[in-house]
Amino acid sequence: MAGDIDQDALAAEWGMALEEQGSTGGDTTEGWDTVGEDGVAHAHTGKGGAERILNQEEIDNLLGFSIEDLALTDNGGIRAIIDSAMVAYERLPMLDIVFDRLVRLLTTSLRNFTSDNVEVSLDRIHAVRFADYLNSIPLPAILSIFKAEEWDNFGIATVDSSLIYSIIDVLLGGRRGVTAIRVEGRPYTTIEMGLVKRMIEVILADAEAAFRPISPVNFKIDRLETNPRFAAISRPNNAAILVRFRIDMEERGGSIEMLLPYATLEPIRDRLMQTFVGEKLGRDPVWEGHLATEIFQARTQVEAVLYESELPLRRLMNLKVGDTLMLDMKPDALVKVRCGEEMLTEGRMGRVGDKVAVRIQKPLRRGRTTLTQFEQISSAGQEA
Q: How far is CA 51 from CA 81, 121, 124, in A?
A: 29, 48, 42
Banded model confidence at residue 127, pLDDT cuts 50, 70, 90: confident
Determine the pLDDT at residue 252: 82
Residue 303 has pLDDT above 80, yes or no: yes
Contact 147, 245 (CB under 8 A): no
Residue 111 has pLDDT above 80, yes or no: yes
Residue 137 neighbours by CB under 8 Å, 6+ apart: 143, 158, 228
Is the N-terminal amide bond of 140 cis, ω within 30° of 0? yes
- Give strand pairing partners of 219: 148
Residue 38 has pLDDT above 50, yes or no: no
Taking residue 67's Cβ as centre, other Cβ atoms within 10 Å add up to 7
Most confident of 67-81, 89-103, 193-207: 193-207
Instruction: Write down the CATH number for the domain with range 301-319+328-368.
Output: 2.30.330.10
Determine the pLDDT at residue 90: 56
Residue 44 has pLDDT above 80, yes or no: no
Determine the pLDDT at residue 364: 78
Most confident of 37-46, 156-165, 177-186, 336-345: 156-165
Encode pLDDT of 247-259 as tens digits: 988 778 889 999 9
Determine the pLDDT at residue 226: 87
Identity of the residue numbered 379: S
The C-alpha atoms of residue 338 and residue 341 are separated, in whole angstroms, by: 7
Largest CA-CA distance found in the chain, in angstroms, rounded: 127
Determine the pLDDT at residue 75: 53
Determine the pLDDT at residue 184: 62
Determine the pLDDT at residue 258: 92
Please, what is the average pLDDT of the chain?
76
Could you tell me the fold of the domain covering 93-272? Answer: Chemotaxis protein chec (3.40.1550)
Encode pLDDT of 347-376 as tens digits: 888 888 888 888 888 887 766 655 565 566
Determine the pLDDT at residue 372: 61
* Matching fold, domains 93-272 and 301-319+328-368: no
Whole-prediction pTM: 0.52
Q: Coil, helix or strand for 250?
A: coil
* Domains of the chain, residue spans: 93-272, 301-319+328-368
What does the pLDDT average to over 137-144?
A: 87
Banded model confidence at residue 277, pLDDT cuts 50, 70, 90: low
Residue 76 has pLDDT above 60, yes or no: no
Q: How far is CA 45 from CA 23, 25, 49, 99, in A?
A: 21, 17, 6, 53
Residue 133 neighbours by CB under 8 Å, 6+ apart: 240, 242, 259
What does the pLDDT average to over 95-120?
A: 89
Q: Which of 51-55, 77-81, 120-124, 265-269 has the lowest mean pLDDT?
A: 77-81
Identity of the residue numbered 24: T
The C-alpha atoms of residue 250 and residue 119 are separated, in whole angstroms, by: 8
Look up residue 186 and give its DSSP letter. Answer: S
Residue 37 has pLDDT above 50, yes or no: no
Element containing residue 248 per DSSP (H, E): strand 239-249
Encode pLDDT of 175-234 as tens digits: 665 555 555 667 888 888 999 999 999 999 999 999 988 888 999 999 898 888 888 888
Determine the pLDDT at residue 146: 92
Identity of the residue numbered 219: F
What does the pLDDT average to over 145-157?
A: 91
What does the pLDDT average to over 322-339?
A: 82
Contact 119, 247 (CB under 8 A): yes
CB burial string 88-119: b at 16+ within 10 A, e below: eeeebebbebbbebbbebbeebbeebbebebe
DSSP H stretches of helix in the chain: 2-23, 56-63, 77-82, 93-114, 130-136, 161-171, 190-211, 262-265, 269-272, 285-297, 313-317, 371-383
Three-state secondary structure of 37-85? CCCCEEEECCCCCCEEECCHHHHHHHHCCCCCCCCCCCCCHHHHHHHHH
